[in-house]
Amino acid sequence: MARIGYARVSTLDQDLDVQLSKLKAEGCGVIRAEKVSGASREGRAELATIIEFLRPGDELVVTRLDRLGRVQNRSCAAIAGS
């Protein structure tokens, strides 16, 4: 079982450091991060990589659910891998 962290900020001038520190503190062995809008999954290569990499029993760790997407149903779709 792996703990895989995902960090995202929406704009280039935002900082990932706080999220990365929290993910490391939670024991994530792999952390993927990107600076891209959460409005859609297009262009979110790191999230796509994680979804493809996840195996049964792995845990996807985020600091806040909105890091997966702005809209709740998009966040659920991201988790489901659809």
What's the pTM value of the predicted model, to 2 decimals?
0.81
pLDDT tens-digit profile of 25-82? 999 999 999 998 767 667 789 999 998 989 999 999 999 988 887 655 554 555 555 4
CATH of the domain at 31: 3.40.50.1390
Pair of tokens at residue 47: 């999230």
So what's the pLDDT on residue 49?
A: 92
Number of domains in the chain: 1
Active site residues: 10
Cα–Cα distance between 31 and 60 in angstroms, integer? Answer: 10
Asked whether the CA dihedral 32, 24, 53, 58 is positive or negative, the reply is: negative
Q: Which residues contact 14 (CB under 8 A, 6 or more apart)?
A: 35
Domain residue limits at 75: 3-80
Residue 78, token pair as written in the block: 């991201």
Distance CA 44, CA 40 (A): 8
